[in-house]
Structure formats: structure tokens, C-alpha cells
């Protein structure tokens, strides 16, 4: 199963076998054929450790995610879709994608540090970027190629891909205002994820641009889960001068909000306009359907992979993109959850 056995069987040197398998030019086409045939017959596949040790590269890309279900930042199929896009690109370069879950008991920074120092991966995609994210400075300092899924305030120049939360907030507020709403609540996350700050700031700017005063009483933070939505809605119903509309930082919240409204005898949509963030698979099947924003996560994955390759010496020339900092547009998908006020 090793290259040595293969070489002995063929009566050639291991160097020749290696060259044949790696498609180098200086090997007779006849012997190459023999080698490839024998390798296939014997089911030979190069040992990763040996190759990595020699080459100083593992041909493995890591993708870190956090497994804390309470603070999960995305819906149920979010990462699966992204992975799919990432792998599509990597497959062309014989790169392997491995997902490195950071357990809820573990610290994301330590997690990245362990992964990097073991020289496990040639590159890294990190997600759930915090506003101040020590991982970013660390990766820059170590010179590890990486891309962040989500902006951060930290550190020097690095590649990242994010979604257009400014556009979403501006568009959603404008839409709600046009439909007669002036009292618009925000359901945000309590975690330190950068999205939280960006979204709230955009929301405030959008309100200001329509001459609406910011009211901290209707800007609430909680878990990004169905339960979190329920709790936020619950607190919101107790506010004097109840809002007529809500903007959500995450679509998972919607289900809990719908539920709480039902319990209060209110109808989502008619009695409380709601606009969600991302179009999850279930958005179109809620009642009322949720107004939210379309984005191709598969394409986000593709772009993540390309941005990462652009930062890796071995692939730089194939992907001359430099430092990629891209805000991905999100397109509003009208639903039934934000009808005109009083209409």
C-alpha cells in the first residue's frame, strides 16, 4: 500500500512512481501507464501524512463553526448550503474541506489557535466573527491564509465576505415607513457577533433618515432562536405605545414571534408587520409568509473559497483577486407578513 511496495512490484524506483503519479513530465509515457494501472489495481492512494510532511502543506482547508445551539447565528440549512458551494471550488484543486466544530465548552480563539499550531490546515474559513475578534489578529500574525464569513472591527487588512445588512435595514425601514409604520421595533441578538452592531447601527441610521426618533425601549436583544423570538415579542407587547412593525436580525425569531402574537390574539402581519432577514427554506411556508431577503448561500460559499485561494501562495496566480472584501447583496422577497398599516 505504500509507494515502496508499488515500486518493487513494478521494478522501478520510488522516485519514478512518485513522478508518474504526480503527472511530471520526465517519465516515459509507457511507464506512467504501467504505474497508474498498478496503482489503481492495488488501490494505492498516497499517504497524507507523508506527503504533508514533505511538502509542508496539507491540502486541507478548515472551516470553523460554533456548535452552541442557543446562540446559533443561522438557520437550519445555512451552513450546509455554504459548504456545498465551498466544496465545489475546492474539488477542482484537490483540496479537502474539513469542518472544525468548536464545542460550546470551548473558546473559539483557543480553538483556532490549536488548529493552526498543529499545522492541520493550509487555510481557514472562520464564521460568526465577533466585533472584536482576536482570531483575526492571530491569523494575520501567523500568516495563515484565511477568509472571514462576516466583517469585524479587528485587525489589519484581510479578506472577508459579508451580507448587506445596511441595505437590508435601510430597505426594510423604508418599506415599512412607506406602508405607514413609524414605530418599528428591532429584534437583535445579545451575542457579541458583529452582525449585531452593524444591523442596529443601520437600523438607527435608517430611522433617522425618515425623521423617526430612536427608542431604546423597542430595541430588544435575546437568543437567536424561536424561543428568543417568543421572549422578545413578549417583552415588546408590554411596551407602552406598542410598535406596529418589527425588523428581525434572524429569521428563526419569526416563528416564536408568530406564536406569541397568536397567544395574544394578534395576527402576525395584520396586527404586527414583520420583516425577517434571510429567506430560510421555511419562510414561504409560514402563515403569513415571511417577508425576507434572498441570497444564494451556495454562491457565498463559492466566493469564500475563491477569496481564500486568492490568499494562498500556491493559488494566487489562478485567482488574482487580492484582498477580497465583499458585501453580498440581499434581495427583498415580499411576503404576507408586512402589509400596509391598517390596510
Partner DNA sequence: CATCGCACCGCAAACGTTTACGGTGCGATG
Partner DNA sequence: CATCGCACCGTAAACGTTTGCGGTGCGATG
Note the residues at the interface with DNA (CB under 7 A): 1-4, 11-16, 18-19, 21-22, 25-31, 44, 46-47, 49-51, 53-56
Binding flag, residue 137, a copy of itself (CB under 8 A):
no
E-strand stretches of the chain: 60-66, 96-102, 123-126, 146-149, 159-163, 184-189, 219-222, 245-248, 273-278, 291-294, 325-328, 331-333
Site string for a copy of itself, 222-261 (x = CB under 8 A): ---xxx-xx---------------------x--xx-xx--
Residue 134 and residue 171: Cα distance in Å, rounded?
Answer: 32
Alpha-carbon span 94 to 125, nearest angstrom: 17
Least distance (Å) from DNA to the CB of residue 315? 15
**Contact call for residue 92 and a copy of itself (CB under 8 A):** no
Residue 81 as a binder of a copy of itself (CB under 8 A): the answer is yes
The one among 8, 13, 22, 103 contacting a copy of itself by CB under 8 A: 103
How many CB atoms are located within 10 Å of the residue 273 CB? 25
**296 contacts a copy of itself (rule: CB under 8 A):** no
Report how many residues bind a copy of itself under the rule CB under 8 A: 62
Q: Interface with a copy of itself includes 203 (CB under 8 A)?
A: no
Q: How far is the CB of 100 from a copy of itself (least distance, A)?
A: 6
3-class SS at 60? strand
Q: Is 336 in the site for a copy of itself (CB under 8 A)?
A: no
CB of 56 to DNA, least distance (A): 6
Phi, psi of 202 (to 5 degrees): -65, -40
- Which of a copy of itself, DNA, none binds 40 (CB below 5-8 Å, type-dependent)? none
**Contacted entry of a copy of itself, DNA, none for residue 100, CB cut-off 5 to 8 Å set by kind:** a copy of itself
The answer for residues whose C-beta is within 8 angstroms of residue 182's C-beta and 6 or more apart is: 212, 244
3-state SS record for 320-337: CCCCCEEEECCEEECCCC
**Can you name the residues that pair with 188 across neighbouring β-strands?**
221
Q: Which three cell numbers stand for residue 226?
A: 424561536
* Adjacent-strand bridge partners of 147: 125, 159
- Say which DSSP state 276 is in: E
Nearer to DNA, 5 or 299 (CB): 5
Running DSSP on this structure, what letter comes out for residue 93? T
Q: Is 88 in the site for a copy of itself (CB under 8 A)?
A: yes
Helices in 2-55 by DSSP H: which ranges? 3-10, 14-21, 29-42, 48-55
Distance CA 78, CA 56 (A): 33
Q: Contact at 8 Å (CB) between 308 and 147?
A: yes
Residue 101 contact partner, candidates DNA, a copy of itself, none, CB within 5 to 8 A by sort of partner: a copy of itself
Counting contacts by CB under 8 A, is residue 79 touching a copy of itself?
Answer: yes
Residue 97 interaction partner, one of a copy of itself, DNA, none, beta carbon < 5-8 Å per kind: a copy of itself
Single residue of 83, 146, 160, 199 touching a copy of itself by CB under 8 A = 83
Task: From the list DNA, a copy of itself, none, pick the one residue 83 interacts with, judged by a Cβ distance below 5 to 8 Å according to partner type.
Answer: a copy of itself
Give the integer Cα–Cα distance in Å for 292 and 279: 5
13 or 104: whose CB is closer to DNA? 13
22 near a copy of itself, judged by CB under 8 A: no
- Which residues are near a copy of itself by CB under 8 A? 43, 45-50, 52-53, 58, 65, 67-69, 72, 74-81, 83-84, 87-88, 91, 96-101, 103-106, 114, 117-120, 225-227, 229-230, 252, 255-256, 258-259, 262, 280-282, 284-287, 289
Amino acid at each position: 500500500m505504500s509507494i515502496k511496495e508499488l515500486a518493487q512490484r513494478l521494478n522501478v524506483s520510488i522516485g519514478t512512481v512518485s513522478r508518474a503519479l504526480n503527472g511530471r513530465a520526465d517519465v516515459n509515457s509507457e511507464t506512467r501507464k504501467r504505474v497508474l494501472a498498478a496503482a489503481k489495481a492495488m488501490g494505492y492512494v498516497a499517504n497524507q501524512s507523508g506527503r504533508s510532511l514533505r511538502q509542508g502543506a496539507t491540502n486541507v482547508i478548515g472551516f470553523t463553526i460554533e456548535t452552541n445551539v442557543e446562540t446559533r447565528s443561522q438557520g437550519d440549512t445555512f451552513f450546509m448550503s455554504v459548504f456545498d458551494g465551498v466544496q465545489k471550488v475546492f474539488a477542482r484543486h484537490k483540496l479537502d474541506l474539513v469542518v472544525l466544530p468548536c464545542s460550546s465548552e470551548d473558546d473559539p480563539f483557543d480553538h483556532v489557535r490549536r488548529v493552526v499550531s498543529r499545522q492541520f490546515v493550509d487555510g481557514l474559513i472562520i464564521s460568526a466573527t465577533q466585533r472584536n475578534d482576536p482570531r483575526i489578529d492571530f491569523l494575520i500574525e501567523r500568516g495563515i491564509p484565511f477568509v472571514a464569513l462576516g466583517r469585524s472591527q479587528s485587525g489589519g487588512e484581510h479578506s472577508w465576505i459579508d451580507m448587506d445588512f445596511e441595505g437590508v435595514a435601510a430597505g426594510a425601514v423604508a418599506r415599512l415607513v412607506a406602508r405607514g409604520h413609524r414605530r418599528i421595533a428591532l429584534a437583535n441578538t445579545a451575542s457579541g457577533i458583529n452582525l449585531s452592531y452593524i444591523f442596529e447601527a443601520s437600523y438607527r441610521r435608517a430611522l433617522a433618515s425618515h425623521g423617526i426618533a430612536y427608542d431604546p425601549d423597542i430595541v430588544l436583544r435575546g437568543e437567536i432562536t424561536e424561543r428568543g423570538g417568543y421572549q422578545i415579542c413578549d417583552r415588546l407587547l408590554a411596551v407602552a405605545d406598542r410598535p406596529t412593525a418589527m425588523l428581525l436580525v434572524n429569521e428563526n425569531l419569526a416563528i416564536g414571534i408568530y406564536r406569541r402574537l397568536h397567544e395574544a390574539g394578534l395576527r402576525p402581519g395584520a396586527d404586527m408587520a414583520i420583516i425577517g432577514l434571510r429567506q430560510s427554506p421555511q419562510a414561504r411556508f409560514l402563515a403569513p409568509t415571511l417577508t425576507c431577503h434572498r441570497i444564494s448561500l451556495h454562491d457565498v460559499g463559492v466566493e469564500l473559497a475563491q477569496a481564500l485561494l486568492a490568499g494562498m501562495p500556491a493559488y494566487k496566480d489562478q485567482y488574482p483577486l487580492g484582498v477580497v472584501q465583499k458585501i453580498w447583496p440581499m434581495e427583498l422577497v415580499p411576503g404576507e407578513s408586512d402589509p400596509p398599516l391598517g390596510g
